[in-house]
Amino acid sequence: MPDQPAPVGSETDPVRHPLGRPRLMPADFVISLGAKGGTDQQLLNPGSQRRQSLRGFEAGYVDIIDYIVRITHRIWEEKDIGYIYDTYSHTAHVHDDYGLQYGRDKIVADTIHTINAFPDIRLFADEIVWAGDDEVGFHTSHRTVIVGHNTGYSRYGPPTGRKVVCWCIANCVALANEIFQEWVIYDTASLIQQLGFDLRQKAREFGNQADWDSLRDPRFGEPERLPGQGKPVYRANPAGPFDVEDFLRVTYHNLWNRRMLGTVRQAYAPNLSFRGSTNRAFQGRGEYQAFILSMLALFPDLALQVEDLYWMGNDRDGYLTALRWSLSGTHRGHGVYGPPTGRPIKMWGISQHRILNGQITDEWMLFNEFAVMQQIYRD
């Protein structure tokens, strides 16, 4: 008899549990930034007793939230940049706007570049969603607001003296005191605008300089829109108790791949608060629905894939989630990027959600918009 596929959601399901067993998803917010009173309280009073198993981590850290907050503060604000050698693996893989960065020496160089451009840089943690343990790795999704003045040279040009306020989300995987995988998204397009540069001109300039062969990320493929009478399947949430993973996977598929925009009314709360790339800020379901519609109009063959998803919380208190996704499409429609160019684009991003009573009340979405613009505007 041929092997039967593992049931969806089982410990051997290769889609939901690629490591062969599920990661721990915290069932409450006992270990969370909110419970600690925010970043400043965590830095001032981290505590001295371990609150969870941290095999291989430095003795001073009490839990994974403490580790992320304090290494970030030490590296970026105290400017102990060399601490990266102790907290990143020498073979670390970092995915950012410019593709895959390999090795911690590149991380050190990029950090020096950024701090040199913004010597008074401050990082304020908005939220850290975490999952996992010290056996399969701690997965953290760190949403941060970055503030600083551009008094040093940067890759975008000479100092402008301008103050910038932008945000980023960094998804990391750490074991034994070292981060070995990171996906980090900065709101680069907003940063360039705040520095006073022409965004489209900079996108064209950087796009023309890029080695596009090296940017063909193997995570992305051609959009798989079915021709002729084929159609993307409609998915429904299974009956039974609320399941965070089913809920978000079904919601994203039906919205982006099936083009069922009515899903917004089902999955999102009427008072939805949304914050997105390049200063997008929406209040309510109508504006969010219009945003999705505009993206589908820009890239009519758009196909989205959920790459990773984890969460913390419970039905009573709600959930905080971190969802990493990617999409591919072709610029064949009119919109914010100007007349259609026919250029293929590759996009990836990280979304965080707050879910209460089975609906999304808050969403933070960052994607590599400056890289997308480079793909469209290059000569």
Per-residue pLDDT of the chain (379 residues; tens, 9 = 90+): 333 333 434 444 444 444 456 789 999 999 999 888 777 777 778 888 899 999 999 999 999 999 999 999 999 999 999 999 999 999 999 998 877 888 899 999 999 999 999 999 999 999 999 999 999 999 999 999 999 999 999 999 999 999 999 999 999 999 999 999 999 999 999 999 999 999 999 999 999 987 765 445 544 555 665 555 567 777 887 788 999 999 999 999 999 999 999 999 999 999 999 999 999 999 999 999 999 999 999 999 999 999 999 999 999 999 999 999 999 999 999 999 999 999 999 999 999 999 999 999 999 999 999 999 999 999 8
* Phi/psi of residue 99, nearest 5 degrees: 105, -150
- Residue 2 is predicted with a pLDDT of 36
Asked whether the beta carbons of 179 and 88 are under 8 A apart, the reply is: yes
Alpha-carbon dihedral angle through residues 275, 279, 285, 286, given to the nearest 10 degrees: -170
Among 11, 324, 17, residue whose Cα is nearest residue 181: 324
Distance CA 170, CA 54 (A): 21
3-state secondary structure of 364: strand
What residues contact residue 364 under an 8 Å CB cut-off, 6+ apart?
126, 143, 169, 274, 275, 276, 351, 352, 353
pLDDT at 216: 54
By the 8 A CB rule, do 56 and 30 touch?
no
Smallest Cα–Cα separation from 372: which of 342, 339, 350, 344?
344
Residues 33-197, CATH architecture: Roll (3.10)
* Rounded Cα–Cα distance for residues 359 and 288 (Å): 14
For domain 244-377, the question of CATH label 3.10.450.50 is answered with: yes
Structural domain boundaries in the chain: 33-197, 244-377
CATH topology match: 33-197 vs 244-377: yes
Q: Do 207 and 377 contact (CB within 8 A), yes or no?
A: yes
In this structure, the strands spanning 178-186 and 268-276 are unpaired
Q: Give the whole-angstrom CA distance, residue 213 versus residue 194.
A: 30
Q: At what angle do helices 369-377 and 199-209 cross, to 10 degrees?
A: 70
How many CB atoms are closer than 10 A to CB 287? 13
Q: Return the pLDDT at 222.
A: 58
Q: What is the pTM of this model?
A: 0.89
